[in-house]
Amino acid sequence: MALISLGLEGTAHSFGAGIVTSNGEVLSNVWDMLLPKEGGIHPREASQHHAELGPDIISRAFDEAGISPNEIDIVAFSRGPGLGPCLRVTATMARAISLALKVPLVGVNHCVAHVEIGCFESGFDDPVTVYVSGGNTQIIAFAGGRFRTFGETLDIAIGNMLDTFGRIVGMRFPAGPIVERQAKEGSKYYPLPYSVKGMDLSYSGMLTAAKKLYDDGVPLEDICFSVQETAFGMLGEIAERAIAHTKKRELLLTGGVARNNRLTEILEGVAARHGAQFHRVSPPLAGDQGAMIAWTGLLQHQAGDHLEVSESYVLPKWRTDAQDIIWRS
Amino acid sequence: MEGELWALGAESKIIRAVWQERPVAIKSRVVKPYLLADIDELLRRQRTARECKMLTYARSLGIPTPAVYFIDRRNNAIVMDFIEGEQLKEVAQHADIALLEQLCSKFGTMIGYLHRGKVVHGDPTTSNVIVDPMGKLWMVDFGLAEWNATVEMMGVDLHLVHRALETTHWDRQDTMLDAFLEGYSSVMGAAAAAVLSRMEEIRERGRYH
Ligand SMILES: Nc1ncnc2c1ncn2[C@@H]1O[C@H](COP(=O)(O)OP(=O)(O)OP(=O)(O)O)[C@@H](O)[C@H]1O
Ligand SMILES: [Mg+2]
């Protein structure tokens, strides 16, 4: 009989609860995001948001799945990496459910979950993953029993860069989609710092330069166009290096910024050059949500990876490559 | 110039040919159709020019690099000596511990010489080091190199070495990193400490928490 998993995600400004079966059905996937105010996420406010809305989000996940809580076989939670207060609130809810329903507790790495839910949706076995969101920009691939970070940002994440730029020029949050719309109207390229170092990259220099263009009165659509071409071009280049280096045949795009069509087009171009398959994770599974935690929790559970409640402290700095991926060979 | 395709890198193709009776490598940076043409052209031009100058400059700092014969600006191609040998990346898979330590220490001294000359390599991976049949190490691929390096830039360079070891040589990374840093520090002397601690700091960045 299929196992049923409840997954709780709460590493940053979103809280989510998802219910997934070992047959690969997503029964429900409910979430809510705290809109960040000026200056980004406030850890304590975000954790209050999770504490206040969490119980209701969890019961809605059960309602939408059409099952009762005692039908679940495991409860999984995002153990890290993320903001300490948010992780602790989420872990507390997961522990309570584990104890009350007497089901095993599984601690999931948030970044690993983004990769695994992408493999689940695409059917990919062993991709190079481009994981791009408000807080993360990483190129991840499996090697030697671990998911290894082949490249990442040396300063700010791509989503953070787009949102910060947007705030400066008066766009509302999240700015990514507005930048994309504006960029379609632009056509003149203004050079911005293109900063690739090995398979790592940096966005802070181009953010400063883009601000300067805005102050100089360059049309916003042309700045947006130049920002996208530069920022996504850099990502395309490091993704290509990772593909060339690992010789893997699949390229996966995931995370909130995966919604961007220009980035998708660039990565499709990269995959095509190397005869690799490409998949962009669909919006409901690309952002931070509970289904990815539930699904990865199932993979871990089936491989015998559980957590005692007494040992289930959170890991705010849990590196992607610090976990033995025992469910993959 | 006729030749055989030798390697297909992420940004270039290397052709092995013979020119004036010597074996040469022709490295040309090919068009990346997925990039905006303005960006692509600029990058290929800049990186070709930079690599050409750096191959020569690095040699003046004591790092063995292939000699450059000429540069074909129209095709963004460089003609240089062909170095017979094997990538350090491959050698590291079959070398015994003693040899591995010796090679990585040598690799460390080469990066140390560069940094001492205020230059960073920009892509210091084990595929950009060639071990010739005499056991001598050569460095290639200077397209991302930079002059006037600060402690931050050198820290990034070491971080990239660390990163390359942990993703590509995970089973031998500790041995390799220790030997690399030993060689690096022996050249950098007292200046090594600041760069090493910057490297550690850089590893922690990029994560929002
Ligand atoms: N002068 C040379 N003699 C012999 N082999 C060389 C020479 N130059 C480069 N090679 C080989 O070709 C490979 C690719 O060259 P290089 O690293 O310069 O290209 P690239 O496209 O910049 O690579 P990457 O994939 O790292 O971006 C090197 O790793 C090296 O093994
Ligand atoms: Mg190379």
Q: What is the CATH number of the domain that holds A57?
A: 3.30.420.40
Select the residue of B33, B39, B209 nearest A317 (Cβ to Cβ).
Answer: B209
First to last CA, chain A: 25
Tell me the average pLDDT across A198-210: 97
Quickly count: other Cβ atoms within 10 Å of residue B209's Cβ. 18
Please give the angle made by the CA atoms of A264, A267 and A269, to the nearest 5 degrees: 110
When the pLDDT of each residue in chain A is averaged and rounded to a whole number, the result is 96
Element (H, E) at A21: strand A14-21
Q: What is the pLDDT of residues A1-14, one digit of tens each?
A: 899 999 999 999 99
For residue B209, the model assigns a pLDDT of 39
Q: How confident is the model at residue A35 (pLDDT cuts 50, 70, 90)?
A: confident
Q: How confident is the model at residue A233 (pLDDT cuts 50, 70, 90)?
A: very high
Verify that A218 and A316 share a domain, yes or no. no
For residue B8, the model assigns a pLDDT of 84
**CA A288 distance to own-chain centroid:** 6
B101 C-beta closer than 6 A to ligand 1? no
Tell me the average pLDDT across A212-234: 98
Verify that A235 and A313 share a domain, yes or no. no
Yes or no: say if A301 and A273 are a contact pair by the CB < 8 Å rule.
Answer: no
Verify that B63 and B90 share a domain, yes or no. no
Is A247 contained in some domain? Answer: yes
Residue span of the structural domain in which A298 resides = 4-109+287-322
Tell me the average pLDDT across A85-101: 98
- Residue keyed to tokens 């993360």: A136
For residue B208, the model assigns a pLDDT of 47
B141 C-beta closer than 6 A to ligand 1? yes
Q: What is the pLDDT of residues A274-292, one digit of tens each?
A: 999 999 999 999 999 999 9
| 0.90 surpassed by complex ipTM | yes
Q: What is the pLDDT of residues A148-165, one digit of tens each?
A: 999 999 999 999 999 999
User: What secondary structure letter does DSSP report for B140?
Assistant: -
Whether B170 and A149 lie within 8 Å, measured CB to CB: no
Of B81, B105, B123, the residue that ends a domain is B81
Among A148, A129, A165, which residue's Cα sits nearest to residue A238?
A129
Of B33, B63, B81, the residue that ends a domain is B81
Is A329 contained in some domain? Answer: no
Select the residue of B144, B156, B209 nearest A83 (Cβ to Cβ).
Answer: B209
Verify that A277 and A187 share a domain, yes or no. yes
Average pLDDT of adjacent 10-residue blocks, chain B of 209 residues: 85 94 95 96 97 97 96 94 97 97 98 98 97 97 97 98 96 97 98 97 69
Please name the residues in contact with A123: beta carbons below 8 A apart, sequence gap of 6 or more.
none
Q: What is the pLDDT of residues A142-152, one digit of tens each?
A: 999 999 999 99
Verify that A130 and A267 share a domain, yes or no. yes
Verify that A182 and A89 share a domain, yes or no. no
H helical segments located in B66-169? 88-94, 97-116, 151-168
Verify that A155 and A259 share a domain, yes or no. yes
Of B48, B81, B114, the residue that ends a domain is B81
Residue span of the structural domain in which B95 resides = 86-207
Any idea what the CATH number is for the domain that residue B62 is in? 3.30.200.20
Verify that B65 and B93 share a domain, yes or no. no
Total domains in the fold of chain A: 2
Any idea what the CATH number is for the domain that residue B140 is in? 1.10.510.10
Q: Are strands B86-87 and A105-109 parallel, antiparallel or unpaired?
A: unpaired
Verify that A65 and A14 share a domain, yes or no. yes
Is A88 contained in some domain? Answer: yes
A84 contacts in B (CB within 8 Å)?
209
**Which residue in chain B has the smallest CA separation from A197?**
B122
Strand partners, B81: B24
Total domains in the fold of chain B: 2
